[in-house]
Structure 1
């Protein structure tokens, strides 16, 4: 069973070493040079800190993203990812430096230079090293031939991934499929080389190194027949289960007491990822509350004076793992509904107060939810929480609806910055929102959270769809 961080059988040892050692070697090397520059002797606790920096960066930058081509999107994504990981690294290193008794080093120009220069060097290196490795791999030529069994959506995605990844040094020759073309996906520019019965002979005659089976599990008898036909060859066979038609979250292989298991639906916030997300939530919410305290006090006073009722409105919502939580908002209506039936606010809703209309349009009514974030019941970014009554309604209408509750709800989310903010008056609109929520969970990273927070500012300024 391949463990996380182990070299892939599809990559050369050179690529694997560069991906895993580039960041820790650069960061720890500059750290050591900074210590020496400031006159700290390379002995005792200082050498220990050098090794600790190497270990911390190795874990934080477990696999460095080597880019073999530069685009505006790839640069922006890589920059955010690098910065988020580096901020976490700095926090841990600063804490360990204090514990080690050399906290004076934190005020030295050498440390400040290390903290500022290292992420820039890492970012530059990822775009400089990638093309060099890519050029080296191209000069070596493609030495593996592969075919894919099954013109499925997953098969087409796999072919595009292999062809777009220079480091793999693999050519996809084409597909094998038994079904007629009108029942399969579009194979794009690759040919359909024959039926699955023709595969064993094709493998022998064309020196194929790898066969990827992307047939649905429902076609198991045909898969077993195909495997029997390939036994008389030395070809490597990989099964790529077409499970991604379901709501997979963070799918991965793991072991449980030595028994292989496949995670089909799991929270993305496991281990260090959960810790880094929680750290960002605490720091972000605390800073926001300090900076926005005067604004929140003025809003509270305005709500209190503008209409009868409490300043804060709390409503039951579903939190992580479907647990009920209370979400706080500034009251924007003349009612405080929290029963078995909750009517969504609509454009021109008579229940919304004049002040409430302004607060809802600018999302200022959501500010008390920073308290939820500090409590640990919400996150800065995540699927938006819905009223319990709405959850009970839509969980029976939308497939995979409750999967979004594998994580804490957020003040803002991927659906909201993609235009699905405010009223969802149709099941189709709610289903679209859920689709974005699940996409967020599948592709989560710290840079994505930071990107969503930045986009949220623009969305709020446009003041659309919030009633």
Structure 2
């Protein structure tokens, strides 16, 4: 029986844990692009300065500045390609204390050679003097070597004071595997800014995972879902790759978390990777689960949701008011039906619907509506066929609990049941639930009395989560109108 779940806080994690504190930070994933753009600007600028200075000394005039700028751009692109080949833009290389004069010089020699070949192929010899080309080569080389030394020194200072930020991640794994990764290694080699690490019991070497180990994994996942929901954008797993049973349990539990999941190389694999030969050594990180939507995609979807929900409420408010009055007059009870459902990341919320039944079920047992269900009122039958009963969920959309389009939320009792019966069911919670969905416009509106029907509905929901686009959402909205008019499976 393994040790209980524990949270390990390393004193050396301070620069990383406070990565959100600086007002201005430099994302580790953008550093290579920043250096490429700076190198291009330096080469073009140095080429212009050198060529113009030579032309002024030799001829008393600046010469053809446009041609010099074009040659500088060619040299800059060629240098960037060669530098990328030598791994000069990798963060690990940029943070090394050793100077990179040799690979920089080799890359620049390649760039100057490309300029010479260009001049020969385009027959530009008479327009561009050899002295200007030599000036480009000399000034460019001095500028690149000096700039890289200065930039590397400043980059190391930025790493020390926490200015460089990476993907904010929670590490989860065994103590032995986590011990090989310090905060600097994670940031430099993988672009990961560690927020916290959760230690799991080690694998006991058996084929099956013990109950204590599974419980520890469940507690770890619960902690991630509740404590780091707003600050973490990925989860990083550090487990022995030979512990297949433990890996499967961890990955299975993490399916319910709508975050990217990455697998670090274990000690054995890391040993092999450290022996890589050649100028460009790679650090490997395996993505086992991608995040459902990027920050930009989430923003676009939210803007569309708010715009449509607000407009619909404004236009449909007379109909909703008349419906509320009719419900109150027909039968005793509240106008709105409220029920707890699971939303994004499995968080529970109260869904709103116009009451269509004489009961208000919300507990361990919730019976789905049947054809000619005696619990459905006469007005309720009309509301359900026309989907008018769903209109109060527009308020759920404005509150941010639901989306216009998404997997339809099920009662919590049904989630618990089907979660055990259908593989990957938890992936439905990687997106906000919707008023309508991809499954509904494909005929799966209403109840699902048989397990195979629910399996087909879930398969359609998972396809939507994996293939979301604004176009698909618009398509679903239009097709929903058709489905409502057809009144298929509406009871």
Structure possessing the higher relative contact order (Cα contacts under 8 Å, 6 or more residues apart): 2
Greater radius of gyration (CA) = 2
User: Taking structure 2 as the reference length, what is the TM-score of the superposition?
Assistant: 0.43
User: Taking structure 1 as the reference length, what is the TM-score of the superposition?
Assistant: 0.46
